[in-house]
Amino acid sequence: MSRLVCVSNRISPPRKSAAPGGLAVGILSALKRTGGLWFGWGGETVDQEPGDPEIHIREGVSYATIELRAKEFELYYNGYANQVLWPLFHYFLKGMRYSAEQRDAYENVNRTFAQKLLPLLEANDDIWVHDYHLMPLARRLRELGVQRPIGFFLHIPFPNIEMLRVLPTYAELLRDLTCYDVIGFQTHNDLRGFHSGIEHLFGAEAIRPDGRLKIGERVVRAEVFPIGVDVDAVQQEAITALPGEVVRRMTDSLMGRSLMMGVDRLDYSKGLVERFSAYRHFLETYPDNLGRITYIQIAPLSRTDVKAYVEIRQSLEQAAGQTNGRFADTDWTPIRYLNRNFPHATLMGFLRAAQVGLVTPLRDGMNLVAKEFVAAQDESDPGVLILSNLAGAARELSAALLVNPYDSRAVGHAIQAALSMSLTERRERHGAMLQVLRRNDIASWTRRFVEALQESQRESSPEPPARETSGESPMRLVRGLQSYRA
């Protein structure tokens, strides 16, 4: 039987002090069901050559953590991954800053991952690589002789070729992805974006009628695998946490007011500045709600060394202060804005207590908070989800109140509609969304991807595709050079 090896930029073993993100939830679900190894950076940086991986076993899952060079990590993570790939893939060109030095560090870190992972691999392993930090990893492993199936899942959006071409090395990126046997995306929009790049670089004939890609001698599966949540676990956490001290203190403090809840990592893609503006517009447009609703926004800090994230934190603090200064009363604060983590179970209790869930990213691969809000609700008296139509989750949760996150007036109207919605309609909408969540839960996501990976057969030659610079024409790139850039 095959062993599953999951690889991600950062290892996130379960901790009670913080809520795991969507990637961690998905990986842990896969490994707990199948057993296996989770490999990644452990959070430590060093000045010298990184040592051998440290291995710990917890609840049947092996965690192998490595160190990274401090300077290289800064250029790779805060630099290339989060100042180039993240804004580009989310269609935020204003925040993109490309440099060859950062790109070289990105390549070097992926080489380190491959070199440190290789001694841990066994003959029957299936390898599942996660997210944009590690797109070149399959090529690096192939160069070291790894022939086992390697899959890749992208948790964030994939842009159309007209956006992707802004990246000077877009062709190398697409070629790196074709070194995988299975490539997974959150939505059909993301898959179409990837196909547009493949067609541009390799020609329309590279996309076969069955949807597989034929790149030279290689056949690659590129499909949609929308990530889900563990519905029963979320429901149980929410029910258990609701009478607990932390959630009870929060609900008692509302003094009977309606609760609107937002839970997001502090990131410009989450649309928090626009969301705060929409809430202010709502209070201006529907003054009868003054003193009757409290909006709690939980936004743990992230990437604090990146300038764009420092700026958004300042903007949100200013926006919250302006709204509270204008509308607050002696016994009421319109916005409670918290930059801190809570245990996952506590967050599920908060979501269950909320009458409105506000999830309005400007662009998101999926957004599991939207799904967790639905799963956490009381089916007999559910709250209403307001969801950005630019989030991947909107493709599945069509019974939510879908809004354009840039339209503050529309978001304000949706808040009013949510607060005034009848119980019958709330139950109908919630029931429809809950059916979708149960059909596409986290176990289904794991099973479908792993089965696809196990079924995949490499039909290519042992040599990975040749790589070139992107400054040439697409046809020249296809014919290409026969060497790789280190």
Query: Does the annotation count 364 as an active-site position?
Result: yes
Going by their DSSP bridges, the two strands 54-58 and 61-69 should be labelled as antiparallel
Active-site position among 90, 130, 155, 200: 155
CA distance 19 to 52: 29
CA atoms within 13 A on the CB side of 473: 4
| Burial (CB count within 10 angstroms: exposed 0-12, middle 13-18, buried 19+), residue 259 | buried
CA distance 342 to 348: 10
CA neighbor of 335 nearest in space, from 393, 278, 387 = 278
Given a contact cutoff of 8 angstroms between Cβ atoms, the answer to whether 375 and 434 are in contact is yes
Given a contact cutoff of 8 angstroms between Cβ atoms, the answer to whether 386 and 356 are in contact is yes
For 110, 143, 158, 172, 178, the CA distances from 465, given in Å and listed in that order, are 17, 11, 21, 10, 8
Dihedral of the alpha carbons of 138, 14, 362, 191, in degrees to the nearest 10: 30
Q: What SS3 class is residue 67?
A: strand
Cα 273–274–276 angle (5° rounding)?
Answer: 65
150-153 sheet: strands from edge to edge = 54-58, 61-69, 36-46, 3-10, 125-130, 150-153, 182-185, 218-224, 213-215
Active-site position among 125, 364, 413, 430: 364
308-315: long-range contacts, CB 8 A cutoff, minimum separation 24: 308/83, 308/87, 308/95, 308/268, 309/266, 309/267, 309/268, 312/266, 312/267, 312/268, 312/272, 312/273, 313/266, 313/339, 315/273
CA distance 347 to 265: 13
CA distance 81 to 88: 10
Given a contact cutoff of 8 angstroms between Cβ atoms, the answer to whether 226 and 187 are in contact is yes
Q: Cβ of 336: how many Cβ atoms within 10 Å?
A: 15
For 211, 224, 329, 390, 398, the CA distances from 395, given in Å and listed in that order, are 20, 12, 40, 9, 6
CA distance 461 to 466: 12
Q: What SS3 class is residue 2?
A: coil
Catalytic residue annotation: 155, 364
